[in-house]
Amino acid sequence: MNRFDQRIAMITGAASGIGRACTRRLVAEGATVIALDRDETALSRLQAELPVEADHLARTLDIRDAAAVASLVEEIITTHGRIDVLCNNAGIAGTDHSPIQDNDLANWRAVVDVNLLGSAHVLQTVAGAMRAAGRGAIVNTASVAGLRSGAGGNAYSATKAGVISLTQTAACDLGEYGIRVNAVCPGLIETGMTRPVFEYAAAHDKTHKLGARCELRRYGHPEEVAAVIAFLASDDASFVTGQALAVDGGNTASLNMPGMKF
């Protein structure tokens, strides 16, 4: 399929995990991709994978830097004339997974700055450019942690719930301008962010339990999330907006019973 021929796609957190899979998927479907990440080394590896004959761009960006985001969006508009797709994917897990009464405030600030404030500013800035064009598709990366407890720390879960709410409110604000805003809510996906979970399982002879709480009885892969992001960003989802779609093997379809936490 070439659903993204002649489309300009901006992807944050593009150098690893779901972002990398999303970059590869949209490039394969014909998009010109602006791949953004704050990890320069990983971004260089990604850039080496992109077709040299295409007009792709890999650039370091920290989404917490509002001025840098605004400057980059202006550069993209100057070069390409528009942004058709935003995959608003950058995020962090944070370092504190303690109970709420023991939470570190510095961890909260760090996670909120990236996952919620950073994502909101990227969305806001790109939406301004899309509004001028009269069309656009934005896909935010949230998490099942924003839907149910037990899938992440307090700060991470709260910010991902915020991303889901941001998706809904932005969809209401932007729909009249032909801009669709949706979110994906990945479950347990094998990425760099979830590596500690997989390492813990291996160290404690629990690898067989990974994904056991999902109805499909397995964990997911970044490419499976990227496929859903590509759908939501494409014209195949032309009448879909304001939705938060779980990509979790059925995990949120069943009860999260006490004592089941991995």
Q: Which residue in the block uniquely carries the two structure tokens 């961890």?
A: 107
First to last CA, the chain: 39
- Count of alpha carbons within 13 Å of 212, Cβ hemisphere only? 9
β-pair partners for 222: none
| Selected catalytic residue, list 156, 177, 200, 219 | 156
Burial of 134 (0-12, 13-18, 19+ CB in 10 A): exposed
Give me Rg for the CA atoms of the chain.
18
β-pair partners for 11: 35, 87
* Catalytic residue flag (residue 156): yes
DSSP 148: S
- Count of alpha carbons within 13 Å of 229, Cβ hemisphere only? 31
Helix, strand, coil percentages, rounded to 5, for the chain: 50, 15, 35
Catalytic residue IDs: 156
